[in-house]
A and B are shown apart, each in its own frame.
Chain A
Amino acid sequence: GAGVSQSPSNKVTEKGKDVELRCDPISGHTALYWYRQSLGQGLEFLIYFQGNSAPDKSGLPSDRFSAERTGGSVSTLTIQRTQQEDSAVYLCASSREGSGNQPQHFGDGTRLSIL
């Protein structure tokens, strides 16, 4: 596609439920990143994929968070047993490669609200 696509754009769920967020990167981009944006915290790095591999999961806040990427394209971020502190905007970005010398382009995010 022309840009990074994320779905759903909004998600409201009850505490304790599992949620799955989807990211479709720009075609041909091998690197994919997940970030979280919350009030007062700014944008925080969660996880990075190069192809289907995730060499850096250091930003995942707890073991309730996991992510996968298949076919070198679409990625899903899963949050299990959601907590209220998980409420935030989850942003996905992609770049041509993950070496750091390529700019990242962002989707519009999924706004997650935990009741």
Chain B
Amino acid sequence: QKEVEQDPGPLSVPEGAIVSLNCTYSNSAFQYFMWYRQYSRKGPELLMYTYSSGNKEDGRFTAQVDKSSKYISLFIRDSQPSDSATYLCAMSGGSQGNLIFGKGTKLSVKP
């Protein structure tokens, strides 16, 4: 079992839809949870950063962490074509913070 599992998609939705992206993990030591967005031929861009369980909202984006279920989610409201990208979940728990990534979900938002 991989440490972090993420459905690679691809996921295609119409503009304006609510998008739900998810990751599961196996290491209970993970405490910090991140979502990155990556456009083609670009580096990952940090979208959301959360610590432990709970919800965090930033504009159209909401991140949820459920440590009891080892499950994290990213919701995108009112999705736009510009949201079309690969979304990577990442997490860490060690003292030095190197990240463990999911393989990414490729999202396409159709106008």
Contact = CB atoms under 8 A, between A and B. Distances in A.
B97 A98 contact: yes
A7 interface: no
A42 B94 contact: no
Interface stretch (B42-50, B61-69, B77-85): B42-50
Interface residues of A, number: 29
What does DSSP make chain B's interface, helix, strand, loop or mixed?
loop
Q: How large is the interface on B (under 10, 10 to 19, 20 to 34, 35 or more residues)?
A: 20 to 34
Interface string B86-102: 00101011111111111
Contacts of B103: 42
Interface in A60-101: 91, 93, 95, 98-101
Contacts of B32: 100-101
A6 B42 CA distance: 11
Interface in A29-76: 31, 33, 35, 42-43, 45, 48, 50, 55-56, 59
Contact of B96 (A42, A48, A93, A107): A48
Contacts of B43: 4, 6, 91, 106-109
B75 interface: no
B71 interface: no
Contacts of A31: 96-97
B31 to A, nearest CB: 7
21 contacts: A6-B43, A31-B96, A33-B99, A42-B103, A42-B104, A43-B44, A43-B101, A45-B98, A45-B99, A48-B96, A95-B97, A98-B96, A98-B97, A100-B31, A100-B32, A100-B96, A101-B97, A104-B46, A105-B46, A106-B46, A108-B41
The 10 closest A-B pairs by CB, nearest first: A100-B97, A106-B43, A42-B103, A43-B101, A108-B43, A45-B98, A103-B49, A106-B44, A98-B96, A100-B92
